[in-house]
Homo-oligomer: A and B are copies of this chain.
Amino acid sequence: MARSPRRAGAPRLQLPLLCLLLQGATAILFAVFVRYNHETDAALWHWGNHSNSDNEFYFRYPSFQDVHVMVFVGFGFLMAFLQRYGFGSVGFTFLLAAFALQWSTLIQGFFHSLHGGYIHVSVNSMINADFCAGAVLISFGAILGKTGPAQLLLMTLLEVVLFGINEFVLLNLLRVKDAGGSMTIHTFGAYFGLVLSRVLYRPQLEKSKHRQGSVYHSDLFAMIGTIFLWIFWPSFNSAPTTLGDGQHRTALNTYYSLSASTLGTFAMSALVGERGRLDMVHIQNAALAGGVVVGTAGEMMLTPFGALTAGFLAGTVSTLGYKFFTPILEAKFKVQDTCGVHNLHGIPGVLGALLGVLVVGLATHEAYGEGLGSVFPLIAKGQRTAMSQAMYQLFGLFVTLMFASVGGALGGLLLKLPCLGSPADCQCYEDQVYWEVPGEHEDAAQGPLKAEEPDTQA
């Protein structure tokens, strides 16, 4: 039962050849373009007369490692809530992110660190590449369980490019502030994935409904992802900010915002839950909305109170989204959003962008003092007023939504190529389509039963 669609749709050589092709192309581009920068090259570093402890590594690497945990452990296990898709959630996250960070090192390098024809890499390129991988995994969450690895790799190939262009337009052309990526990462990743999921709409998906939920242990695995995302989000938002007070303040704001979104999530989940009971889906996801919502404003003088308020609002709205809007999204808009990324990344991302517009608009020399230059260089230099910078922020949001929608549509058409062979409607959310699943042979006899009772077969 798990075999036919695989044989039919996707010849066994497809994934191997695609991996080899992508890795080969990436390696060649690395050979031609990628070089160590002045902090990682033995010859360049030792020119300057600075102490080894001045190396940016010591100020960025700990944050990078926290982000790295979020991308691979956080996203991977958060998506492992599905009873029969744990291998796919963790495994494909691993594959996509590993490719995305190589590919985005090239794409982002072309746009941001191309000097003398070479891309110069350091811990900063590692942080940026992981950020891009995060956006790809957000999109993955919208189509989780309904696509194969070859399709996902092609999605990554396209999305990384569009992510890089959108990021370039916002940060370099519009000079928008978005350290934690409310726009560039969350809004972009979410709407790219949602539009893509719309194009791949499956009217017959209820054939896999019995596999779409969680089981007791898979919810605990998902909580590993949630908790690591929650813990390290302050590092995520602060990783690329200016050193000093900027990075310190961003971590603090994110910490407060997340704690408030957690209380908001528990409150709403119990309020709307059957018999006042809490729903793991809400706790696993909406509690994280506080990190998304301060992705833009976190480095600004948001104030601790502002962070709490924003976080609480985000957690509340996100929980209500899971309860009431997700069903509408599928019924009315034909968008099947497996992980509810619209509620965790889409809406909170847009709210975060708007919060940024607000906080930028309120920026004053009094509030930022000499620090204005490090947060809003253009305002400090008098090239923009706070209000005009706020308008640029708002325009950045629209640009992001546009790139995400068009990109997602293109991605959807790309993934529809028949040769890619996505799983049949009755095969969604099922690891056996792409993975050797232990215990499979023992109960091969009771094949059809398998899907109904995944845990007992394990």
Contacts and interface: CB of A to CB of B under 8 A. Distances in A.
A438 B215 contact: yes
A381 to B, nearest CB: 15
B262 A94 contact: yes
A62 interface: yes
Interface string A123-147: 1001000000000000000000000
Given A31-B305, A312-B27, A374 B101 contact: no
Contact of A455 (B43, B62, B456): B456
Interface of A: 3, 6-7, 10-17, 19-20, 22-23, 26-27, 30-31, 34-36, 39-47, 51-59, 61-62, 65-66, 68-69, 72-73, 76-77, 80, 83, 86-87, 90-91, 94-95, 98-99, 101-102, 121-123, 126, 149, 213-217, 219-221, 223-224, 227-228, 230-232, 235, 242-249, 251-252, 255-256, 258-260, 262-264, 266-268, 270-271, 273-280, 283, 287, 301, 303-305, 308-309, 312, 366-372, 374-375, 432, 434-439, 454-458
Contact of A436 (B46, B280, B435, B456): B280
Given A23-B312, A69-B231, A77-B224, 13 more contacts: A27-B309, A41-B245, A42-B301, A42-B367, A43-B366, A52-B244, A53-B243, A65-B231, A72-B227, A95-B262, A98-B259, A102-B260, A216-B454
Given A15-B276, A259-B102, A277-B434, A308 B30 contact: yes
Nearest to A48: B370
B245 A42 contact: yes
B259 A99 contact: yes
Contacts of A121: 252, 304
A440 B341 CA distance: 26
A267 B370 contact: no
A237 to B, nearest CB: 13
A345 to B, nearest CB: 20
B224 A369 contact: no
B227 A90 contact: yes
Contacts of A436: 273-274, 277-280
Contacts of A68: 231
B438 A43 contact: no
A211 to B, nearest CB: 12
Contacts of A274: 436
B438 A15 contact: no
Nearest to A365: B43
A72 B243 contact: no
30 contacts: A15-B266, A20-B267, A23-B263, A27-B305, A34-B305, A35-B304, A39-B248, A41-B371, A42-B368, A46-B245, A52-B244, A53-B54, A55-B248, A58-B58, A61-B248, A62-B62, A72-B230, A73-B227, A80-B220, A86-B219, A87-B220, A90-B227, A94-B262, A94-B283, A95-B263, A102-B260, A126-B252, A216-B437, A216-B439, A220-B221
Contact of A255 (B15, B80, B126, B247): B126
Contacts of A14: 276
A398 B248 CA distance: 38
Contacts of A277: 6, 432, 434-436
Contact of A45 (B22, B69, B245, B263): B245
Contacts of A123: 248, 251-252
Nearest to A77: B224
B59 A53 contact: yes
Contacts of A370: 42-43, 46-47
Nearest to A45: B245
A435 B231 contact: no
B73 A375 contact: no
A21 to B, nearest CB: 9
Contact of A6 (B10, B44, B235, B275): B275
Nearest to A46: B370
